[in-house]
Amino acid sequence: MSGFVCFITAGEINTEAAREVHPLKSIGCFIKKPISAEQLLRRIKAELE
């Protein structure tokens, strides 16, 4: 399994700019807060499948 990065932020994020800054990383998802623990687990599990 390769590395997986998930960004969690309370603010807006420019996903394309983030991918340019971290081109060698496997950016799996961007999650905006607030998010419940259950929703977070579901999202991460979905990204890993």
Query: Taking residues 8-23, what's their average pLDDT?
Result: 73
Q: Across all residues in the chain, what is the average pLDDT?
A: 76
Q: For residue 36, what pLDDT band results from cuts at 50, 70 and 90?
A: very high
At residue 1, the pLDDT reads 45
Percent of the chain topping pLDDT 70: 76
At residue 3, the pLDDT reads 63
Rounded to two decimals, the pTM is 0.56
Q: Is 27 exposed, middle or buried (0-12, 13-18, 19+ CB in 10 A)?
A: middle
The one-letter amino acid at 30: F
The one-letter amino acid at 49: E
At residue 37, the pLDDT reads 93
